[in-house]
Amino acid sequence: MNQESLFAIFINASLINNFVLAYFLGICPFLGVSGKMETATKMGAAVTFVMIISSVCAYGLHALLVSIDAIYLQLISYIVVIAATVQLVEMFIKKMSPALFRALGIFLPLITTNCAILGLALFQTNKGYGLAQSVVYALGAGIGFTLALVLMAGLREKLNFAETPNLVKGTALTLLIAGILSLAFMGFAGLGSN
């Protein structure tokens, strides 16, 4: 069992060990949709939402697998559940709020292959978090993901008119900015350790 406080878990997941900038999880959407502020915010919100739901599912699933002694099915069941969750969330949003659905539209299916979601489920299991801890962990991870995405989008929009050298155009520039952001986030290291 893990006894970390909820606040420490939140700070750890969102700032100290930011999913994108320290664990490199969810890099694909990070590189792909960080070009524009608006899409970045929406993607971040969608990911956070799915993260919380799949975190709860993964918690329940893990308990189930342990009780029937079938822990070897962990990975395959997690991925199936995540894919199903994304589908359900998509259908649910479509029904409840067509406006939100149109806004999120193309991003929702993409989330299935976002390694941050599966990574979150695996990490929370490895760390032995309880239900409340898992949810806070998911929230922190989602907010951290959104933060990284939104900061990157702001910088990239600002650089739209810059005369960047040909050498670094494209992904290379995004990675360099991500590296600098990652450096800046190192300032949060040890937060709450004393």
Partner 1 sequence: MKEAGNTSGQTSGQKMLLTMTGIGVFCALMIVLSYQGTLPRIEQLKAEALEKAIFKVVPGMESKRTFRMESDGSFTEVSGKEKDARLVYAGYDKEGKLVGVAVEAAGMGFADVIKVIYGYDPEKEAVVGFYVLESKETPGLGDKIEKDPNFLANFEALDVSLTEDKSKTKNTVVAVKHGEKKNNWEVDGITGATISSRAIGNLLGTSTAEMAPVLHKNKAFFEVKKGQ
Partner 2 sequence: MFKKTLHISTSPHLTKGIGTDDIMRNVVWAMLPVALYSVWSFGLGALVVLATSTTACVLTEHFLAKISKKESTISDWSAAITGLLLGLTLPPGFPMWMAFLGGVVSIALGKFVFGGLGYNVFNPALVGRAFLQAAFPVAITTWHPVYAPDRFTTVPSATFTAPFMEPSTVDAFSGATPLSAFKFDHVVTNSYDLALGLIPGSTGETCAALILLGGLYLIARNMMNWRIPASILLTVFLLSGALYLANKEAYPSPDFMLFSGGLMLGAVFMATDMVGSPVMPAAVWLYGALIGVLVVVIRIWGGLPEGVMYAILLGNAVAPHLDNLIRPRVYGTVKTAKKS
Partner 3 sequence: MSQLTKDKTGEGFWGNLANSPSTNEFLKGLWKENPVFVQVLGMCPTLAVTNTAMNGLAMGLATTFVLLMSNILVSSLRNVIPKQVRIASYILIIATFVTMTDYAIQAISVDLSKALGAFISLIVVNCLILGRAEAFASKNTVGKSMLDALGMGFGFVIGLLSLGAVREILGNGSIFGIPVFPASFQEWVIMILPPGGFFTLAMWLMFFNHRKQKKAAL
Contact predicate 55/120, CB 8 Å: yes
Among the listed ranges 43-51, 59-67, 90-98, 168-176, the one in contact with partner 3 (CB under 8 A) is: 168-176
Question: Both tokens of residue 22?
Answer: 């320290």
**Runs of H (alpha helix) within the chain:** 6-11, 27-32, 37-67, 74-96, 98-104, 107-111, 115-127, 131-158, 171-185
- Residue 79 touching partner 1 (CB under 8 A): no
- Residue 170 touching partner 3 (CB under 8 A): yes
- Residue 184 touching partner 1 (CB under 8 A): no
Question: Both tokens of residue 52?
Answer: 């919380």
- What does the per-residue mask of binding to partner 3 show for 56-75, with x meaning CB under 8 A? ----------------x--x
Distance CA 19, CA 149 (A): 11
Distance CA 110, CA 3 (A): 34
**Least distance (Å) between residue 111 CB and partner 2:** 19
Give the residues lining the site for partner 2 (CB under 8 A). Answer: 37, 99, 102-103, 150-151, 154-155, 157-159, 162-165, 167-168, 173, 176-177, 179-181, 183-194
Which residues would be at the binding site for partner 1 (CB under 8 A)?
1-2, 4, 8, 12, 16-17, 66, 72-73, 76, 127-128, 189-190, 192-194
